[in-house]
A and B are shown apart, each in its own frame.
Chain A
Amino acid sequence: SAVISQKPSRDICQRGTSLTIQCQVDSQVTMMFWYRQQPGQSLTLIATANQGSEATYESGFVIDKFPISRPNLTFSTLTVSNMSPEDSSIYLCSVEGQTYEQYFGPGTRLTVT
Chain B
Amino acid sequence: GQQLNQSPQSMFIQEGEDVSMNCTSSSIFNTWLWYKQDPGEGPVLLIALYKAGELTSNGRLTAQFGITRKDSFLNISASIPSDVGIYFCAGQNRVTSYDKVIFGPGTSLSVIP
Give A residues with C-beta under 8 Å from B.
1, 4, 31, 41-45, 48, 58, 92, 94, 99-107, 109
9 extra A-B contacts, CB within 8 A, seeds A4-B42, A48-B100: A1-B45, A31-B98, A94-B42, A100-B92, A101-B31, A101-B45, A101-B48, A104-B35, A106-B42
B residues near A (Cβ < 8 Å) are: 31, 33, 35, 40-45, 48, 50, 88, 90, 92, 94, 98, 100-101, 103-106
Q: Which residues of B contact A99 (CB under 8 A)?
A: 48, 50
Of the candidates A41, A43, A44, A100, which one forms a contact with B43 in the assembled complex, judged by CB atoms under 8 Å apart? A43
Report B-chain residues with C-beta under 8 Å of the C-beta of A31.
98
Q: How far is the CB of A17 from chain B (nearest CB, A)?
A: 23
Give the distance in Å from the alpha carbon of A101 to the alpha carbon of B104 in the complex: 15
Closest A-chain residue to B41, C-beta based?
A: A106
